[in-house]
Structure 1
Amino acid sequence: MKPVQKNDRLLVHVEDLTHDGAGVAKVDGYPLFIQGALPGEDVQVHVLKTLKSYGFAKLIQIEQASPFRVTAPCPVFDTCGGCQVQHLSYEGQMTFKQKLVRDAITRIGKLPDVPVHPVKGMEHPWRYRNKSQIPFGTDNGRVVAGFYQTRSHNIADTDICLIQTPEADTIMTGLKNSLHGMGIEPYEEEKHRGMLRHVVVRKGRATGEIMVVLVTKKKKFPQRDQAVELIRSLVPEVASIVQNVNGEKTNVIFGNETLTLWGKDVIEDRIGDVRFEISARSFYQVNPEQTEVLYGQALEYAQLTGDETVIDAYCGIGTISLFLAERAKFVMGVEIVPQAIEDAKRNAALNGFSNTLFEAGPAEQVIPRWYKEGKTADVLMVDPPRKGCDEQLLQTILKQRPKRVVYVSCNPATLARDLRILEDGGYRTQEVQPVDMFPQSTHCEAVAWLELAE
């Protein structure tokens, strides 16, 4: 029999946080997940649901608060799904994220002796996002815009988001207040009707250039000149206004067709000394200040002297590749998305790099062919999606045996899983450095350094 039942009211001690920011308390070994509770706290809870091996409870009252508890400054923090830990001080967030990475490396990777360093955080952990994807909709006939509520597609309406740029706030609020006057209907997802689905705002941190993308259901957009005029009046720094057409009944933001309505087709930014052109749909890290820290750490672990050949698997638009190309003899990047490879080639030319090669295709197929062609690597860099490295790519690494692997990860659990596989295949993890790319959220990136055992 479970030690707690639905509707029980209990006093519990919170021991931990989950990867999505819920407090964890245990009653006779039975975990209860409590949204809003923090480790070290004694809290009164109301049990909402009990499953076989865990349950969920609602926070009723805090009897003993954590010393790291703060008042979340965002007015919609309790409903918006964009941030999970604004109620945890930044010092507390750094402690939590280091523990998150260390626990994964220890429990999943079975590597308790690998050093996991303190997280490299931000001096000012607000207003850091250079890209905002803002859904528009209606609520009882009123235009709403903001971000999706936790685990839903209901919009948490707001005029301000403290992790996006002030310009994004200005554009979001200005459009929201003007849509009805311009005769533009916000999109209704359930009924698949209306015109304006999302507004995407991108800003180059180093250049100040701003791109605004209007994602519409239809290509024909009679009010587009009015919309362009409004956006330019709201934010004079805007350099590009683009329309993206998505007529599908889907929760994917972008469609396949993109049209420039005003200004440039791309905006530019820099990471370190490397320039990047960014289009409406380019993948580009959303926190450029910390991207420089993250890539600097990857570069340090690569230990380049200028004589090495580097392979960058999952190279995207070449952000890490070009960072490495400044120090390496030659860099080869592979990415499954053809458009990203075209962006990478363009960015290499923009920076005058002649020591790079980019190819579209699955890394686990392209890299073995490169080796057969004599294109071998001293250092392999991987920066996979949240699901981690493809199993075939891991086997390719173990077969080709580059002497050093640098693994950039956005998911501690899959990082730890993949480190275990590489360790079993003859590599030794030297250390792991977490980097906070997403303050106020539970997400944490990390860079791992592996050497081939002698």
Structure 2
Amino acid sequence: MIASIRSGRYRYPKNIFATRSFSKSSIELKPTTPSNIPGNSSKSVLIQDQVGNEIKPRKYWKHFLKSKRDEAGVASRVSVFFHEVQEALDIFNSTNQLDLAVKDLEIPSDLAELYSQPGLMNSIAHEVEVIYLTSNGDGLCFVPRRSYLNDQAQAGHTVVRVPKAIPGDIIDVKIGRHMAIHSEGELVKVLNSRSRLTRRNDRLIVCSNFDQCSGCQLQMMNNDDQLRFKQSVIQRAFKFYYPSLYEEFKAKRADGFGSVMDSPMQYSYRTKITPHFKPRRDVKPLDTKIGFNDIHDPVGIVDIDHCPIATPLINQEFPKLKSKVLEELDRVQINKMLTKQRIKAKISPTLFLRDSIRLDHKTGDFDQVCITDTGKVVTEKVGDFVFQFEASEFFQNNSYILPQVIDYIKYHIHESNLNFKYIVDTYCGSGFFGISLSKEVPEKDGKIFGIEISKKSIKYAEHNASLNGLKLPEKAEFIAGNSEDLFSNQVFADSQVTGDKSILIMDPSRKGSNESFLKQLLKFKPMMVVYISCNPFTQARDLQMLNLLQQDGSVQYEIQDVVGFDFFPQTKHVESVAILKRII
């Protein structure tokens, strides 16, 4: 496995571009680099660029990784960013007839120390061109160090990552914290916003907080450009982590692959938001900011009263809930002052608002309601099906696009003309995909089988099956457990569900699947695999791993199609769906 270094609660790859070796197998994942760098098994701390040159890790890396979801190794956020820097560097070299390598971008220690804290140094670089848009929705530009250090003796360029900037923009940018090979930047001004050289159109921005709020990245781009960008994210995921498939699809299809299906709603689509706050002693309770993260301040909050991508009902209820929370904070503060005692107030720092429907079980009529208690039950209607789940449990936040995803899967099931009986829904949650596809299985002896680690979700999956007319356990069965343990599960074995009569659906979290699950999948031998992912990079990694694992086996899968779905317009996010058919 890839060695790593640790700093606090974060974990970083010891070799960002390292070949990954999987336990108990000879399988290796080889990223798209000029040379494949073997993993270093020594205990010394070592980070290497794509050609094997050492990049010394520094404490400043911790500012790049901000969540526990990050992992060391193939398709981690750090690994993706390094690949994207390399792509941007190729563009910069080609445009300027240079021959810079990633090694040349390393930040000198004294410069990193100088810019180590937010606000410590705030140099401005003028008239800089943005040439690349990362999968995180940030623009990349290359700034000569002498231009912002006012020192003609300074050599080299700094890669600056600038939120809210897109390729073609000519910008003034404030240079901030320096990391291992890049600097954080803050957009000061776009100098050519009305030029044809940029795809920016600031008249499309509808949110007054867009320049500060971290929630949306792409409001300045029209919808077609957003879809093209998200297609490019899917394509680069496979270029980085499954290059042979990328080249194959690129040769077969004029538009490449990974085209992205549009959302029926560009705004007012998001059925859940979770604004939050951080009480401060130097701020009066009634002046506490409640909203979303500030892109210019790692610990800052942007105060909001309205979110354009949230549903109208949520925006109607949010100001009321916000006022209620602020009044409660003020009341607690007053009580503390009067009693001079430390009072532990049970006020959650995260607000919760979720669209739901309220059913009239006698007439079948329903109306929309907004739930603000995570312990309440949410009801959603998607197509012909009704789903209920506890508000704190996961369910997709754009119900408008879900019927398109189901129709796409149905299309491939029909086109394949498979003689199947079962749908096996791994990572099934509250049963959405399996139940939504239940009409595709034979009425006589067809069955849905699902597994999910959350026992609470399984309870609702069983409830939803019954709610939609599926008899338990004859037509639908759900078990609690790790998806990796599904094929060895005794209940699953007793169900007599066999791979040669099954379609398998996998919808893992952002970190993707793993070698153990994929090995068992190959032994199970389903007729078709539908891989749904909210992270195209880990999806590409997993599909290459599956391809390598099947090389010496008796079963072979061919990827029929990879498409994207724009679940979250105005943001960087894209869902990717891959269809695999067994050919041997």
TM-score range, shorter chain: 0.7 to 0.9
Q: 1:193, CA displacement in angstroms?
A: 4.8
Equivalent residue in structure 1 for 2:435, among 322, 325, 329: 322
Q: For residue 200 of structure 1, report the CA deviation from its aligned partner.
A: 1.8
For residues 282-330 of structure 1, the C-alpha deviation after alignment (integer angstroms, 9 at most, x for no partner) is 3221100112222322333344767431211100000001011111122
Q: Residues 430-441 of structure 1 correspond to what in structure 2 (within 5 A)?
A: 430-441=560-571
Name the larger-Rg structure.
Answer: 2
Per-residue deviation, residues 251-290 of structure 1 (Å, max 9, x unmatched): xxxxxxx4xxxxxx53422111111123332322110011
Q: TM-score, normalised by structure 2?
A: 0.63
Deviation per CA, 1:47-89, whole angstroms, max 9, x where unpaired?
Answer: 3344443333333333334234334221122222222222222
Map 1:25-424; keep pairs closer than 5 Å. Answer: 25-26=141-142, 31-65=159-193, 66-71=198-203, 72-110=205-243, 111-112=245-246, 113-114=248-249, 116-136=257-277, 138=279, 139-142=283-286, 143-150=288-295, 152=298, 154-179=300-325, 185=331, 193-197=344-348, 198-204=350-356, 207-214=366-373, 258=375, 266-303=377-414, 307-328=420-441, 329-354=446-471, 355-369=475-489, 372-373=493-494, 374-377=496-499, 378-424=502-548
- Structure with bigger helix share is 2
Question: TM-score of the superposition, structure 1-length normalised?
Answer: 0.80
1:20 maps to which of 109, 133, 136? 136
Question: Which structure 2 segments of 5+ residues have no match?
Answer: 1-103, 116-122, 144-155, 250-255, 334-341, 359-365, 551-555
SS in structure 2 opposite 1:196? coil
1:348-394: CA deviations, max 9, x gaps? 00111121111110111122336754421321110000000133111
Kindly provide the amino acid, as one letter, of the partner of residue 376 in structure 1: T
Whole-angstrom distance in 2 between the partners of 1:393 and 1:309:
19
| Structure 1 pair 406–54 and aligned structure 2 pair: CA distance change class (3 A) | same
2:172/2:187 contact within 8 Å kept: yes
Assess if the C-alpha contact under 8 Å between 2:318 and 2:353 holds in 1. Answer: no
Contact 2:451 2:478 in 1 (8 A): yes
1:107 and 1:183 map into 2 onto residues whose CA distance is 48
The CA deviation at 1:211 is 4.2
Letter in 1 for 2:231: Q
Q: In structure 2, how many angstroms separate the alpha carbons of the residues matched to 1:130 and 1:9?
A: 40
What residue in structure 2 maps to residue 11 of structure 1? 127
Q: Is 2:532–2:575's contact at 8 Å kept on the other side of the alignment?
A: yes
State the Cα deviation string for residues 171-194 of structure 1 (Å, max 9, x = none). 22123335566786589xxx9954
Counterpart-to-counterpart distance in 2, 1:199 and 1:179: 9
Q: Is the 8 A contact 1:24 1:33 kept in 2?
A: yes
Amino acid at match of 1:174: K
Q: Quick one: distance in 2 between partners of 1:9 and 1:182?
A: 45
The alpha carbon displacement at 1:125 in A equals 0.6
Cα RMSD for the two superposed structures: 2.9
| Comparing 268-277 and 421-430, the one that deviates more | 421-430
Q: Please give the secondary structure, in 1, of the residue aligned with 2:577.
A: strand
Q: 1:185 to 1:167 in 2, by over 3 A?
A: farther
Deviates more, 1:443-452 or 1:369-378: 369-378
Higher strand proportion = 1
Q: Which amino acid aligns with 1:158?
A: I
Structure 1, residues 110-129: CA drift from partner, whole Å, max 9, x if none? 12223524211124311111
Q: Which runs of 5+ in 1 are unaligned?
A: 215-243, 245-257, 259-264
Deviations 1:192-228 (A, max 9, x none): 95443233222237943324234xxxxxxxxxxxxxx
2-side partners of 1:204 and 1:122: how far apart? Answer: 20
- What is the aligned partner in structure 2 of residue 235 from structure 1? none
Report if the CA contact (8 A) 2:140-2:162 is conserved.
yes
Work out the percentage of aligned pairs sharing the same amino acid: 27
The answer to whether the 8 A contact 1:298-1:408 is kept is no
Looking at structure 2, the residues matched to 405 and 99 of structure 1 have their Cα atoms a distance apart, in angstroms, of 24
Partners of 1:90 and 1:422 in 2: CA distance: 34
- Indicate conservation of the 8 Å contact 2:355/2:370, yes or no: yes
Shift of 1:11: 3.5
